[in-house]
Amino acid sequence: MQPTPDPRPVLVAVDPSDSARDAAVWAAEVAADWSVPLHLLHVVPGRSTDPPLPPPRWLQQLDALAVHTGVPDRVHEVVQGNVVEIVSARARDARMVVLGSYGDTGWSGGLSGPVSIAVVGRVQCPVAVVRGTAPRVAPPRGGPVVVGVDGSAAGAAALGFGAGLAADLGTSLVAVHAWSGDADDGCAAAWRLLATSLADVRRAHPLLPIDQVVEQDTPLRVLYRRAEGARMLVLGNRGWSAPERTPLSETTRSLVESAPCPVVVLHAAVPAAVPVGTHSGPARCPQA
């Protein structure tokens, strides 16, 4: 996925919920594919100066569950303090941060919750929010990696990262671009943007199956539809139209909260070693 091996661990923030269990298994499988350690982190209210707490039994069970994925090394810890602050601090030494959704405690609510949104908008490494199609439904284990492409720096990072994940997981990549406006000029420009975005990627993964999709509709609707049946959805934190200081665009935030599959968010600062595909756009763009 990256040009040189990255030994940093996959960090997964957990609580006693079923969703956190799904997130831990998902994170362990990624860590095993990358041959990097898994770091299970449980944050509880309190002060950093309070006496250390022993790991609860459910955390030890998650650790044991990770063994079956083949992850090379595991660490679990209980830390007292503010969950957003602690996860953000630990993320500086992580290759990826993984969070659950639909949690029973502070991690969500009906959707992914303010904690997940705060971490996704704040952390500079890739952040995955692990979701299924509904509460207590495990995330999909098959399907392609779908990436939203918009020509932005964050979108380029998402494309490179998503291609690497698809190659590592042995699945295909779907590069998706949504457009609006004039039906002739907009369609041609959309295919040009997608082809240009993929040009530097082709050499990195010449055997990776890739499907290119251009649809005329809002990015939110197009990406949500394409996320149905996907193994995961990979997005930049914001596109061209979002203000520079906005941590998450409305589209990315909405998909983190509602997509029917895990959502991985990339910031532009994350280096991207990109994938492959062939450009064969249709004679006309599909209409919404």
Cα–Cα distance, 129 to 123 (Å, whole number): 13
pLDDT for position 137: 86
Per-residue confidence (pLDDT) for residue 179, from 0 to 100: 85
Convert the chain into a string of H (helix), E (strand) and C (coil): CCCCCCCCCEEEECCCCHHHHHHHHHHHHHHHHHCCCEEEEEEECCCCCCCCCCCCHHHHHHHHHHHCCCCCCEEEEEEECCHHHHHHHHHCCCCEEEECCCCCCCCCCCCCHHHHHHHHHHCCCCEEECCCCCCCCCCCCCCCEEEECCCCHHHHHHHHHHHHHHHHHCCCEEEEEEECCCCCHHHHHHHHHHHHHHHCCCCCCCCCCEEEEEEECCHHHHHHHHHCCCCEEEEECCCCCCCCCCCCCHHHHHHHHHCCCCEEEECCCCCCCCCCCCCCCCCCCCEC
Q: What is the structure's pLDDT at 244?
A: 63
**Predicted local confidence at residue 275, as pLDDT:** 35
**Domain 10-129 identical in fold to domain 145-266:** yes
Residue 182: the pLDDT is 65
Pick from 80, 109, 79: nearest CA to 11: 79
Q: Which pLDDT value is given to residue 102?
A: 63
pLDDT per residue as tens digits for the range 192-249: 888 888 888 778 889 999 999 999 999 999 999 999 999 999 999 986 555 566 688 9
Please compute Rg for the chain using Cα positions.
19
Positions in the chain whose pLDDT score sits under 70: 1-4, 102-113, 182-184, 239-246, 269-288
Domain 10-129 indexed as CATH 3.40.50.620: yes
Q: Residue 245 has what pLDDT?
A: 65
**Predicted TM-score of the model (pTM):** 0.86
Q: Specify the CATH class of 145-266 in words.
A: alpha beta
Comparing C-alpha atoms, which of 176, 221, 208 is closest to residue 273? 208
What is the DSSP pairing of strand 127-129 with strand 263-266?
antiparallel
The domain limits of the chain are: 10-129, 145-266
Residue 286's pLDDT is 56
Determine the Cα–Cα distance for residues 96 and 39; give it in Å rounded to an integer. Answer: 10
Rounded to whole angstroms, how far apart are CA atoms 122 and 107? 16
